[in-house]
C-alpha cells in the first residue's frame, strides 16, 4: 500500500472526499502511464491540472503549489519548507502568480507530497494546465489606506467557486485572473484574461471588468467589458465567459488558443453577446460573496519595553523608507521583504517564520507579484526589533519593488522553453544597481523584468526596461543574447503599455545596457521626469542608436560566447514547453473521455449536482462527435466547429437517435435551466448518442474494409 494513503487519513478539510479522490486518481494514472495504458499526451494534460509540470531535466518534475492571492500562514509556510526538504532540494521559488514552486521532484512521489500539503489546506489542483490558474491580487489588499474595500474575499470566492468545476478542466488554454485593490492597478489587470478593479456606484460595491489581456510572444492589452459590474454578478459573468471560451476557443494551434485571440477574432461585442446568452442557462444568476468574513489578525504582541539598538541608522532608514508602509489600521505597518529572484531556502523560510511569530500576523503572509513577501500588522513600536531580526537572517535588503528589485523567471535553470539564462544575469544587474547607482533603490518608477524566452513568464513585455532570452549566430558559433525592450508599464485603472523591442545584444553585455540607459537618463532627463516620459520624448530610434555599439558583433570577446552561470560555450537546447498542455486528439482517447464524462455525469446527478452533470453530458457529446469526425479525417479546432462539421457530415444521412440537428441537440445546454429534469434527459440523450456513435464507427469501418478488399 502506497505511503500516501496513510497521509490521506490526516487531511482535515471539509472537502476531504474530493481531495482524496483527486490524489488517489493521480496515483492510479501514474501507474497506468508507467504501464503504457495512457497516452503520454493525455497523461501530461492530467498531471498538469494537478500542478505537476515537466522541467528541463529529464525524470524530475516541478511542483506548483497554488496559493490563492498569495496568502499563507506560518503553518503552511513551514509545511512547504518541510516538503521541499523531503521531496526536493530545499529551495522555495516564489512566482509572479503568487504561487510557490519546488523543483526536481520524482513523479512517483507526487501523490504522497500532495497528500501531505493538503493536511494544511494547500492544493496543487489546477495550478498548471488548461484551467483557471491561481487567482492573483494586490498583496496590500485589506490593509491599504488607498483602497475602496478589501478585494481578498472576492479573489478567494472565485478561487473556491471554480476549483474542480467541470467546464474549466480542459479549456483550450489557461485562464489568468487578477484583482487589483485600487486604480493604481498593482495586480496588473490589463495583462490578464480577466481583471477586476474595485468601484463603488450609488453606494453599491462592484468592479471594473477587464477582459482579453495577455503577454507572451504576442501581447494584447485587455479591453473594458464593464465600467461597473455589481459584486453579485461577477461569478456568473466569469462562469459564462469560461463556458463561451470552452466552446468557441481554438483547440488545435496552441499559439492561438488564448482568450485574447478569440476576442480579437470575433470582436468584444460579439463575445459579450455570447456571454449574455450563456448566462441565461446558469444555475447561479447572482452570487452573493460574503465580504464581511475577514481573516482576523493574530493577537498583537505586547510592545517590547527595552530600546532597540540599531547597528547602522543609515541602513535602517534606507530600509524603512523603501520596505515599510503605514496600514489603514492605525498604529500598524506593512513590511515588505525582498527575495532575490524569488528564491528562499527552506532554512531561511523557517527563520522567517520565527520572526513573524514574534512581530507580525501569523495567519496572513502575502506573496507579492514581484516575488517577495509582505508581512502584515506589525506594531509601529516593534519596527526596529523586526528589522534587527530580519537583518540577522539577511532578509532586510532595501529597495523592495524598486529598480533594484528585478523580476525574473527560472529560465534555463529548469524551463524547457528558455533560450538563455535569466537568473544569473539578474544577479549581475542588481549588483550594478546597488553598487553603481545606489540611489535608484528609491526609484519605484522603473521596473526591470527578465524572461528566459519570449513567452514573458518574467513579464518583460510590460517593463520600463525588459529583457528576454534569445540568441544569434556569428559564423558557426551561437551567442547567448538578450532582446532589450523599453517603455512598458502600468498607466492605471486597467490601462497599460506594452514594451517596444529596441535591440538585441550579447547577454554578457546586459550590465552595460543598464549603465548606458541610467547614465543617459540621469544626464538628459528633465527634473522630475519619469522614464517612460523620457522614452516617449526621445523616441525608440534614439535608444536604438544609444545602444547600437553594444550590438557590434565585431567586438565580441571569448566570454560573450558563454552564457551567465555556465563554463562551456553556449548552445541552444530548447525542449517542448508545457505551458499549454494541449492534448493530442486521438480517436481512442476521445471515445474513452466521452465514456469517462458519462460516468462523471451520472455521479454528479446522484449527488444532486445537476449543473455539473449537464456539463459532463455536454462534454461527452462533443468528444464522441469529435472522435467520429477525426476518424473521417475531418479536423476541427473548436467545439463550435465540431457542431457545425458534424451536422454537415450527416446532412443527408443521419443514423442517430435525435430528431433535430446535432447542434440543436447539444446547445440545449444554454437553452435550459440546470434542473434535475433537464439533467436527467440530457444525460440519457448523451449516453444514447455515444453508444450509437461507437456502433456506427464499428459498422462503418467494417464496410470500408470490405470495400477495400473488393
Residue 397: CB atoms within 10 A of its CB come to: 22
Beta-bridge partner residues of 92: 344
Beta-bridge partner residues of 489: 497
Give the cell for residue 72. 499563507
- Whether the CB-CB separation of 185 and 104 falls below 8 Å is answered with no
Query: How far does CA 674 lie from the centroid of its chain?
Result: 30
Residue 1's pLDDT is what?
Answer: 40
Within a domain: residue 423? yes
Residue 704's pLDDT is what?
Answer: 52
- Whether the CB-CB separation of 336 and 369 falls below 8 Å is answered with no
Place of cell 525574473: 408
Burial 687-706 (b: 16+ CB within 10 A, else e): bebbeebeeebeeeeeeeee
Residue 331's pLDDT is what?
Answer: 95
Residue 637's pLDDT is what?
Answer: 87
Within a domain: residue 400? no
Residue 703's pLDDT is what?
Answer: 52
Q: Which residues of the chain have pLDDT under 70?
A: 1-9, 11-15, 293-305, 573-586, 701-710
Whether 651 and 613 map to the same domain: the answer is: yes
Measured at the CA of 319, the angle between CA 317 and CA 322, to 5 degrees, comes to: 105
Query: How far does CA 353 lie from the centroid of its chain?
Result: 26
Give the cell for residue 149. 474595500
Whether 264 and 356 map to the same domain: the answer is: no
Q: What is the CATH number of the domain that holds 153?
A: 3.30.413.10
Q: Which of 392, 417, 440 is the last residue of a domain?
A: 392
Whether 511 and 446 map to the same domain: the answer is: yes
Residue 433 domain boundaries: 407-561
Whether 380 and 439 map to the same domain: the answer is: no
For the chain, what is the domain count?
5
Give the cell for residue 184. 493604481
Q: What is the CATH number of the domain that holds 88?
A: 3.90.480.20
Measured at the CA of 364, the angle between CA 393 and CA 355, to 5 degrees, comes to: 25
* Residue (of 615, 594, 609) closest to 693 by Cα position: 594
Whether 543 and 415 map to the same domain: the answer is: yes
Give the cell for residue 444. 519605484
Percent of the chain, pLDDT > 70?
A: 93
Residue 475's pLDDT is what?
Answer: 87
Residues near 267 by beta carbon (within 8 Å), at least 6 away in sequence: none
Whether 445 and 530 map to the same domain: the answer is: yes
Within a domain: residue 213? yes
Within a domain: residue 214? yes
Helix (H, G, I), strand (E, B) or coil at 141: coil
Residue 702's pLDDT is what?
Answer: 62
Whether 149 and 114 map to the same domain: the answer is: no
- Whether the CB-CB separation of 460 and 485 falls below 8 Å is answered with yes
Q: How many residues does the chain have?
A: 710
Within a domain: residue 310? no
Within a domain: residue 217? yes
Q: What is the CATH number of the domain that holds 591?
A: 1.20.120.330
Whether 334 and 262 map to the same domain: the answer is: no
d(CA 272, CA 244) in angstroms, rounded, equals 9
d(CA 408, CA 428) in angstroms, rounded, equals 12
Listed in sequence order, the DSSP H helices in 499-573 are 510-524, 531-538, 540-547
Q: Which of 332, 365, 392 is the last residue of a domain?
A: 392
Whether 412 and 556 map to the same domain: the answer is: yes
Residue 444: CB atoms within 10 A of its CB come to: 14
Within a domain: residue 86? yes
Whether 454 and 513 map to the same domain: the answer is: yes
Q: What is the CATH number of the domain that holds 335?
A: 3.30.70.3340
- Whether the CB-CB separation of 173 and 580 falls below 8 Å is answered with yes
Within a domain: residue 426? yes
Helix (H, G, I), strand (E, B) or coil at 161: helix
Residue 332's pLDDT is what?
Answer: 96
Residue 66: CB atoms within 10 A of its CB come to: 23
Whether 432 and 553 map to the same domain: the answer is: yes
Rg (CA), the chain: 27
d(CA 374, CA 367) in angstroms, rounded, equals 6
Whether 621 and 679 map to the same domain: the answer is: yes
Amino acid at each position: 500500500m502506497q505511503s500516501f494513503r496513510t497521509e490521506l487519513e490526516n487531511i482535515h478539510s471539509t472537502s476531504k472526499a474530493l481531495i482524496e479522490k483527486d490524489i488517489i486518481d493521480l496515483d492510479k494514472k501514474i501507474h497506468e502511464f508507467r504501464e503504457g495504458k495512457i497516452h503520454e499526451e493525455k497523461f501530461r494534460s492530467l498531471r498538469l491540472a494537478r500542478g505537476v509540470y515537466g522541467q528541463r531535466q529529464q525524470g524530475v518534475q516541478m511542483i506548483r503549489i497554488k496559493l490563492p492571492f498569495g496568502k499563507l500562514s506560518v503553518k503552511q509556510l513551514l509545511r512547504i519548507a518541510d516538503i521541499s526538504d523531503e521531496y526536493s532540494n530545499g529551495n522555495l521559488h516564489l512566482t509572479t502568480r503568487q504561487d510557490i514552486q519546488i523543483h526536481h521532484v520524482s513523479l512517483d512521489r507526487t501523490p504522497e507530497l500532495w497528500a501531505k500539503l493538503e493536511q494544511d489546506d494547500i492544493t496543487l489542483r489546477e495550478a498548471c494546465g488548461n484551467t483557471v490558474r491561481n487567482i492573483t491580487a494586490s498583496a496590500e489588499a485589506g490593509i491599504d489606506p488607498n483602497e475602496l474595500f478589501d478585494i481578498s474575499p472576492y479573489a478567494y470566492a472565485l478561487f473556491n467557486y471554480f476549483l474542480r468545476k467541470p467546464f474549466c478542466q480542459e479549456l483550450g488554454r489557461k485562464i489568468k485572473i487578477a484583482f487589483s485593490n485600487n486604480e493604481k492597478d498593482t495586480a496588473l489587470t490589463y495583462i490578464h484574461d480577466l481583471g477586476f478593479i474595485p468601484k463603488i456606484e450609488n453606494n453599491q460595491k462592484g468592479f471594473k471588468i477587464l477582459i482579453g489581456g495577455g503577454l507572451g510572444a504576442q501581447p494584447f492589452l485587455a479591453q473594458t467589458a464593464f465600467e461597473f459590474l455589481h459584486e453579485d454578478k461577477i461569478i456568473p459573468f466569469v462562469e459564462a465567459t469560461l463556458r463561451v471560451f470552452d466552446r468557441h476557443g481554438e483547440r488545435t494551434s496552441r499559439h492561438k488558443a488564448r482568450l485574447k485571440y478569440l476576442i480579437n477574432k470575433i470582436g468584444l461585442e460579439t463575445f459579450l453577446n455570447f456571454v449574455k446568452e450563456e448566462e441565461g442557462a446558469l444555475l447561479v444568476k447572482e452570487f452573493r460573496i460574503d465580504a464581511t468574513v475577514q481573516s482576523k489578525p493574530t493577537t498583537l504582541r505586547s510592545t517590547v519595553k527595552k530600546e532597540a539598538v540599531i547597528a547602522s541608522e543609515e541602513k535602517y532608514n534606507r530600509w524603512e523608507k523603501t520596505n515599510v508602509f503605514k496600514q489603514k489600521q492605525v498604529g500598524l505597518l506593512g513590511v515588505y521583504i525582498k527575495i532575490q529572484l524569488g528564491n528562499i531556502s527552506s532554512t531561511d523560510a523557517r527563520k522567517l517564520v520565527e520572526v513573524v511569530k514574534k512581530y507580525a500576523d501569523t495567519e496572513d503572509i502575502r506573496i507579492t507579484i514581484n516575488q517577495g513577501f509582505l508581512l502584515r500588522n506589525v506594531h509601529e513600536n516593534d519596527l526596529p526589533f523586526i528589522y534587527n531580526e530580519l537583518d540577522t537572517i539577511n532578509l532586510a535588503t532595501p529597495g523592495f519593488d524598486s529598480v533594484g528589485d528585478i523580476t525574473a523567471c527560472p529560465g534555463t535553470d529548469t524551463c524547457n522553453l528558455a533560450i538563455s539564462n535569466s537568473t544569473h544575469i539578474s544577479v549581475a544587474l542588481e549588483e550594478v544597481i546597488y553598487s553603481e547607482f545606489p540611489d535608484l533603490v528609491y526609484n519605484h518608477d522603473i521596473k526591470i523584468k527578465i524572461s528566459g524566452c519570449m513567452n514573458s513568464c518574467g513579464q518583460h513585455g510590460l517593463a520600463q526596461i525588459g529583457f528576454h532570452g534569445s540568441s544569434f549566430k556569428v559564423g558557426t558559433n551561437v551567442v547567448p543574447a538578450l532582446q532589450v525592450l523599453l517603455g512598458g508599464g502600468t498607466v492605471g485603472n486597467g490601462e497599460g503599455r506594452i514594451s517596444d523591442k529596441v535591440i538585441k545584444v550579447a547577454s554578457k553585455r546586459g550590465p552595460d545596457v543598464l549603465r548606458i540607459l541610467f547614465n543617459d537618463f540621469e544626464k538628459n532627463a528633465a527634473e522630475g521626469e519619469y522614464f517612460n516620459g523620457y522614452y516617449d520624448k526621445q523616441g525608440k530610434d534614439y535608444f536604438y542608436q544609444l545602444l547600437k555599439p553594444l550590438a557590434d558583433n565585431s567586438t565580441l570577446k571569448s566570454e560573450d560566447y558563454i552564457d551567465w552561470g555556465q563554463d562551456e560555450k553556449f548552445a541552444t537546447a530548447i525542449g517542448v514547453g508545457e505551458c499549454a498542455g494541449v492534448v493530442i486528439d486521438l480517436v481512442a482517447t476521445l471515445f474513452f473521455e466521452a465514456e469517462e464524462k458519462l460516468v462523471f455525469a451520472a455521479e454528479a446527478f446522484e449527488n444532486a449536482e445537476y449543473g455539473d452533470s449537464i456539463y459532463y453530458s455536454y462534454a461527452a457529446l462533443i468528444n464522441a462527435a469529435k472522435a467520429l469526425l477525426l476518424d473521417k479525417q475531418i479536423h476541427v479546432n473548436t467545439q463550435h466547429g465540431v457542431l457545425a462539421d458534424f451536422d454537415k457530415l450527416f446532412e443527408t444521412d443521419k443514423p442517430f437517435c435525435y430528431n433535430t440537428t446535432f447542434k440543436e441537440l447539444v446547445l440545449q445546454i444554454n437553452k435550459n435551466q440546470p434542473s434535475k429534469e433537464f439533467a436527467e434527459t440530457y444525460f440519457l440523450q448523451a449516453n444514447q448518442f455515444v453508444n450509437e456513435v461507437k456502433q456506427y464507427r464499428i459498422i462503418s469501418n467494417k464496410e470500408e474494409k470490405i470495400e477495400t478488399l473488393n
